Amino acid sequence: DIDDICWIGMIDELEENGYLFPCDYSEEVENILWGLSQLKNYSLIESYTDDFEADDDDDAEEFVHKLNSTLKGACICMIDIDSDSYELIIASLDVYKKISAIAKNNGYSIITL
């Protein structure tokens, strides 16, 4: 299906250009923080991660959910590719609203955890 090819192509482009960090659901918290810090728009959440106390026992979903609850004006989103991995991006709340609506209108999803 051409739509699926375009969806996966978009994800590949986001990763290749420094806007997406893929991780496994069981990824360690420190690896997720490191991966997010490598993204080009990390500055949207950087001030919140400096003092954020992560629980090393959290899985990726729990950790991102807790971090998102502390953020103001931005969020960490997951692009759904129907797998066990999390394709994480950082977006301002305005951008998140737009891209999640576009994804939904096209049969896909971008969600916050």
Cβ atoms of 58 and 66 within 8 Å: the answer is: yes
pLDDT digits (tens, 9 = 90+) for 31-64: 999 999 999 999 999 999 888 887 888 889 999 9
Adjacent-strand bridge partners of 110: 79
Per the domain annotation, does 113 fall within a domain?
A: no
Per the domain annotation, does 23 fall within a domain?
A: yes
25 lies in which domain range?
2-106
Per the domain annotation, does 43 fall within a domain?
A: yes
This prediction has a pTM of 0.92
Per the domain annotation, does 58 fall within a domain?
A: yes
pLDDT digits (tens, 9 = 90+) for 82-103: 888 899 999 999 999 999 999 9
Supply 106's token pair: 């096209």
Number of domains in the chain: 1
Per the domain annotation, does 89 fall within a domain?
A: yes
pLDDT digits (tens, 9 = 90+) for 7-39: 999 999 999 999 999 999 889 999 999 999 999
